[in-house]
Structure 1
Amino acid sequence: MQTPKLIRPTLLSMAILSSMAWATGASAALVPPKGYDAPIEKMKTGDHNFSCEAIPKPYTDKLVFRSKYEGSDKARATLNAVSEEAFRDATKDITTLERGVSKVVMQYMRDGRPEQLDCALNMMTTWAKADALESREFNHTGKSMRKWALGSMSSAYLRLKFSESHPLANRQQDAKIIETWFSKLADQVVSDWSNLPLEKINNHSYWAAWSVMATAVATNRQDLFDWAVKEYKVAANQVDKDGFLPNEMKRRQRALSYHNYALPPLAMIASFAQANGVDLRPENNGALKRLGDRVLAGVKDPSIFADHN
């Protein structure tokens, strides 16, 4: 993952506003918010220049990686260029996979070419059949890579599963392989990130909860949905009366960046919960909106965070 960068206020505002406009009403089967059912834009035929890149080697080794903040103090705010390079080298296949899946799914939803669907599904099934990313030998950076990869892939997969174009109608065996793998990864993510002391729960836990929420809907697992909702409530109750997250304030000069980074997974979890009849917006007196307002204010005037620190 890249060091968090500030989201432009206009885009962030749109994300927060969209989180207030989801369809309500519970359903027997878990569903994503409106938009994930979008059809393929145009079924293109004829000549094309699409080429499926080589599938990266499935990562089946232990998930133990160096941190890019290696050697930093408790604030974890100073980058270590050497360890960051080592981290990126060691995790290259994982990041190539998650970016590749997201990119090709987007291309397929735009163009509808069978080669694109084959490419996306082959990437995921190849890793699934290898039991990739399932190692129970990991450090903090390693378990973080697992949930980041799961979140990226499952959210992309949702667009295939729920599209009104039904691209998976004739690919049910592939879908079963992928969803079984996602389900196993989500179980491990739940294990990785459960029962942490409050002082250790921060943006990492929020992104873990988002990856589990996306997988819950992809696999129609209520237990995963409930866990993600529970973790959201913990996060919401970490937001103080002024919209700050105390554990992200510990990042000192990076506090604004990490508040900005912590917001999207919470907004997405709330969005998915709302689509399934669970309204999380009132939690802790509207914590999500309070956090969003504070981040927007900080993007406009970073001194707000510097002064608070």
Structure 2
Amino acid sequence: MPSEPTTGTDPATETFVAHRNLLFTVAYEMLGSAADAEDVLQETWLRWTGVDLEQVRDRRAYLVRITTRQALNRLRTVRRRREAYVGQWLPEPLLTAPDVAEDVELTESVSMAMMLVLETLTPTERAVFVLREVFEVGYDEIAAAVDKTPAAVRQIAHRARRHVDARRPRTTVSAREARAVADSFRRALETRDPQDFLDLLAPDVVLVSDGGGIKRAAVRPVLGADKVTRFYLGGSLKAEAEVTTEPTFVNGSPALAVFLDGELDGVMAMRVEDGRISGLYYVRNPEKLGRVAAETPLTLR
């Protein structure tokens, strides 16, 4: 499968490469997994090479349609697999460039908080919501992608939008504010002062940690500032190994990379509302940390 443009390539390859980042973003937002998204792109490429381009009026739309169908098929399969997942499941974090945080729409759509909300939709609802609300695809084109009538797609979109609106973060903060809160949380982890934690955490904060059955993690979400503080100070990052953190950007938002004796232990993303942390998402599963070493380009266009 091509990943970089080359000179003298055929029209099918040139078109696919030109839209590859968009197709990956579509697949990732539908699946929450970079590995599965890459598999979807491979399947999309194989089908794209068999298409008669002379019969395709809008190549970008056609590629999005193929990607959506392949992602839907895979989503139905992985949902069954996730039901047997050990502990809490979190999306696979992606290292993103700092300037992605300035794109409010993109950052919100790929944030850990939003990705978890999307997990509560049915596969078809998720596809319709992502295509309509995130990528602004027309109803007729979505209908062709999900094998529904335009009228049915409108109903699904309305239902999905209402569902997401009831669960999405209440406010959107600037990239600067999010960075400031992330920096303060980093200092709290270093000082291990309970009051520093309580000053930063919203009263109803929720912590979700994902060890995948490979590393230690909370079996259920930890709710409330007091319990989250005790979780961290009472054992989560308390180890014989030296704990250090580094600021990073994950899924378009400021985050922390956590190291034990210099080895990457996990990535901690956060949701910030009204100057406080309302959500913490700690991915420790080593099988999900493969995309935090190099930036993944994402785009809505």
Q: Same fold (TM over 0.5)?
A: no
| TM-score with structure 1 setting the length | 0.29
| TM-score with structure 2 setting the length | 0.30
Q: Which has the higher helix share?
A: 1
Q: Which has the higher contact order (CA 8 A, sep 6+)?
A: 1
Q: Which has the higher strand share?
A: 2
